[in-house]
Amino acid sequence: MAQVAQPDYDKPDDSGEVRVKVICLGDSAVGKSKLVERFLMDGYKPQQLSTFALTLFNHKTEIDGQKVSVDFWDTAGQERFNNMHPSYYHQAHACILAFDTTRKITYKNMPNWLKELREYRPEIPCLCAANKIDVDPSVTKKSFNFAKKHNMPFYFVSASDGTNVVKLFRDAIKAAVKYKSNPTDIMDEIMQELENFELETGKDKAGGDTEDKDQAAAADENDKASS
């Protein structure tokens, strides 16, 4: 994928809106684009071409009285064979990870998607969507343990008839806004810790060295004693 010039979602602005980025992941043809389209337009046009590279859909809404501007990022699933460009994940606040209930392989590939997501965004909320339940509604009686195992919210959906689509996307937006206001992304925490660490080590470097030497000496003593 070509380098994407994307907005800076973490930059504060004075628009009064919270700006969030929600990404969609999952194998090709599981219905990612159709789900986004269904949510945004409440319409459904079957037989559209596979997403070419990247589409951004902006959506303005309100969550608990707070104005929110959401960018849904949608890309073609077949890119998994070359890995997704890191900019796809950059600054994402939530993810919708979808599979197709009519094709087992798309469910089997879920761990690969989650793994890649977690490499870039270890802590963002990820919601699991089991799509195309209109084809065989009895599929909703089956249990799909992947979501439970990874502590992800799970939704049976249909982009075709709209089942649960609004619920899924509203929850994803809520989760994104919550994450943005209180990010627990471990990478952010580690970065923060590293900054403090530098300050501390600069401040009491001598003390730290002495302690290290003391410990090394004690270890030597122990070695001598045990040999």
Ligand X SMILES: Nc1nc2c(ncn2[C@@H]2O[C@H](COP(=O)(O)OP(=O)(O)OP(=O)(O)O)[C@@H](O)[C@H]2O)c(=O)[nH]1
- Report the Cα–Cα distance between both ends of the chain, in Å, rounded: 60
The reply to whether 46 sits near ligand X by the rule CB under 6 A is yes
CB count, 10 Å around CB of 144? 17
Please pick, from the candidates 21, 34, 93, 180, the single residue that binds ligand X as defined by CB under 6 A: 34
The reply to whether 134 sits near ligand X by the rule CB under 6 A is yes
Positions 135 through 164 that interact with ligand X (CB under 6 A): 135, 158-160
Q: Which two tokens stand for residue 175?
A: 């989760």
R_g over Cα of the chain? 23
Distance CA 72, CA 68 (A): 12
Choose the one of ligand X, Mg ion, none that binds residue 28, judging by a C-beta under 5 to 8 angstroms depending on kind. Answer: ligand X
Choose the one of ligand X, Mg ion, none that binds residue 93, judging by a C-beta under 5 to 8 angstroms depending on kind. Answer: none
Distance CA 153, CA 167 (A): 11
Number of H-type helices and E-type strands within the chain: 8, 6
The reply to whether 73 sits near ligand X by the rule CB under 6 A is no
Helix boundaries (H) for the chain: 32-41, 86-89, 104-108, 110-120, 145-149, 165-181, 186-203, 205-226
The reply to whether 106 sits near ligand X by the rule CB under 6 A is no
The reply to whether 131 sits near Mg ion by the rule CB under 5 A is no
Choose the one of ligand X, Mg ion, none that binds residue 58, judging by a C-beta under 5 to 8 angstroms depending on kind. Answer: none
The reply to whether 1 sits near ligand X by the rule CB under 6 A is no
Residues 6+ apart with CB under 8 A from 30: 77, 98, 99, 100, 103, 106, 131, 132
- The minimum distance between CB 157 and Mg ion, in angstroms, equals 15
The reply to whether 28 sits near ligand X by the rule CB under 6 A is yes
Choose the one of Mg ion, ligand X, none that binds residue 164, judging by a C-beta under 5 to 8 angstroms depending on kind. Answer: none
Please pick, from the candidates 18, 36, 51, 113, the single residue that binds Mg ion as defined by CB under 5 A: 51
- The minimum distance between CB 69 and Mg ion, in angstroms, equals 22
The reply to whether 91 sits near Mg ion by the rule CB under 5 A is no
Distance CA 29, CA 100 (A): 8
**Where along the sequence are the contacts to Mg ion (CB under 5 A)?**
32-33, 51
Contact set with ligand X (CB under 6 A): 26, 28-34, 46-48, 50-51, 76-78, 131-132, 134-135, 158-160
